[in-house]
């Protein structure tokens, strides 16, 4: 495992649509492992492959000691609306209130090549939607109702 550099707002890769993973290889496993190590190092909740410069549909989310590794994830159901304040490792120092589905169901592939489903609500649903946005080149700056400096919120 290795720490990877997180790409910052302004890097063109963050605005590109990630390509599907066609075959799960050792390289895909390495990307997943590196993403998790990088995520934990930055005390984040989620990370998508484009954020480390890999234009593949891969994401990880770790919340409440539960790890979700997602390859080729897609939302297959959603309902309701929730508003949460979100920040992003690729947009440091900024946050914004974003409306997301209150509930989602995701279909994804795991590192063993098996299809599985995640049903999520509340913070987990927001975190998963946030990472799936990255796979489509969408940032919090595109979705937030208002962008704030994080230090402004602390006052």
CATH of the domain at 54: 3.90.45.10
Q: Considering the domain boundaries, does residue 117 fall inside one? A: yes
> Any idea which residues carry the catalytic annotation?
131
Confidence at residue 38, expressed as pLDDT on a 0 to 100 scale: 97
Q: Considering the domain boundaries, does residue 6 fall inside one? A: no
Confidence at residue 1, expressed as pLDDT on a 0 to 100 scale: 77
Confidence at residue 111, expressed as pLDDT on a 0 to 100 scale: 96
Domain count, the chain: 1
Confidence at residue 154, expressed as pLDDT on a 0 to 100 scale: 47
Q: Which ranges of the chain have pLDDT less than 70?
A: 152-155
Q: Considering the domain boundaries, does residue 118 fall inside one? A: yes
Q: Considering the domain boundaries, does residue 2 fall inside one? A: no
Q: Considering the domain boundaries, does residue 3 fall inside one? A: no
Confidence at residue 153, expressed as pLDDT on a 0 to 100 scale: 46
The 10 Å CB-count burial string (b at 16+, else e) for 25-52 is eeebeebbebbbebbeeeebbbbbbbbb
Q: Considering the domain boundaries, does residue 4 fall inside one? A: no
Q: Which domain holds residue 64?
A: 12-154
């Amino acid at each position: 495992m290795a720490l990877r550099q997180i790409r910052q707002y302004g890097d063109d890769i963050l605005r590109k649509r990630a390509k599907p993973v066609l075959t799960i290889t050792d390289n895909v496993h390495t990307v997943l492992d590196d993403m998790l190590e990088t995520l934990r190092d930055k005390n984040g909740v989620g990370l998508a492959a484009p954020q480390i410069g890999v234009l593949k549909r891969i994401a990880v989310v770790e919340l409440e000691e539960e790890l979700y590794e997602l390859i080729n994830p897609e939302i297959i159901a959603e309902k309701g609306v929730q508003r949460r304040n979100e920040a992003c490792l690729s947009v440091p120092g900024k946050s914004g209130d974003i409306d997301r589905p209150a509930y989602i169901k995701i279909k994804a592939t795991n590192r063993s090549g098996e299809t599985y489903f995640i049903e999520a609500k509340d913070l987990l649903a927001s975190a998963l939607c946030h990472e799936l946005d990255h796979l489509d080149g969408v940032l919090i700056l595109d979705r937030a109702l208002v962008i704030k400096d994080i230090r402004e919120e602390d006052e």
